Copies of this chain bind each other. A is one copy, B any other.
Amino acid sequence: MKKLIALYRKPDDVEAFLKHYNEVHLPLVEKVPGLLRTIVNRVTASPMGGEPAFFMIVEMQYADAVSFDAAMKSPENRAAGKDLMGFARDIVTLVVTEAE
């Protein structure tokens, strides 16, 4: 299982962020070919105390490296990436992972 994980720090305007995420960004993400499943994890607590390091952690799952690489090169992924940079550039961190 290959995943693109997007870690979002807390946006200044939570309501506007969630509205854009749910109504614009997520539909763009879900058009990316090969995407198996998107899991939106909302952060509810910080067990080590203080403010949580992140506000939301989103997993975009792909079956394997081949489908992941094809997805990343697709026009649909470019559109989702462009949208991401427009509304969340300052608060998002992206990593690619492989589950053991």
Query: Given A4-B47, A47-B4, are A93 and B53 neighbors across the interface (CB < 8 Å)?
Result: yes
Name the B residues within 8 Å of A99 (CB-CB).
39-42
Interface of chain A, helix or strand or loop or mixed?
Answer: strand
Query: Given A40-B100, A100-B42, are A95 and B54 neighbors across the interface (CB < 8 Å)?
Result: yes
Q: Shortest CB–CB separation between residue A80 and chain B, in angstroms?
A: 12
The answer to whether B40 and A95 touch across the interface, beta carbons within 8 angstroms, is: no
The answer to whether B42 and A98 touch across the interface, beta carbons within 8 angstroms, is: yes
What class of interface size applies to chain A in its complex with B?
Answer: 20 to 34
The answer to whether A53 and B7 touch across the interface, beta carbons within 8 angstroms, is: yes
Name the B residues within 8 Å of A42 (CB-CB).
97-100
Query: Given A4-B47, A53-B7, A57-B5, are A41 and B97 neighbors across the interface (CB < 8 Å)?
Result: yes
Q: Shortest CB–CB separation between residue A34 and chain B, in angstroms?
A: 16
